[in-house]
Amino acid sequence: MWILIKRIDATRVASLFYMGPPVTMLMAWMVVGDTLLLMDVIGLLVVLIGVLLTQVKFSKLKKLKP
């Protein structure tokens, strides 16, 4: 974690902690054979989109617009 903080902002590193429960859910599905419900997948997508939004630098996106 300290290596990540040296390379990127602490706020962006902290947002990666939200991926812990979804990753654990996927690991339980793959290793133990736990069943995934529709709400589990929807929750995974919500967390993934939220983390991706915090990782994108919007200043770069503004430059891409004509």
Residue 50's closest CA among 14, 24, 26?
A: 14
Q: What per-residue confidence (pLDDT) applies to 7?
A: 79
Look up the pTM and report it: 0.68
Q: What per-residue confidence (pLDDT) applies to 61?
A: 58
Whether 43 and 26 have beta carbons less than 8 Å apart is answered as no
Phi/psi region, residue 65 (left: phi>0; alpha: psi -120 to 50; beta: rest), is beta
Residue 40's closest CA among 48, 52, 32?
A: 48
Across the range 15-22, mean pLDDT stands at 85
Which residue type sits at 51? V
Calculate what percentage of the chain has a pLDDT beyond 70.
Answer: 83
List, for residues 27-37, the tens digit of each pLDDT value. 999 999 999 99
User: What is the 8-class DSSP label of residue 8?
Assistant: S
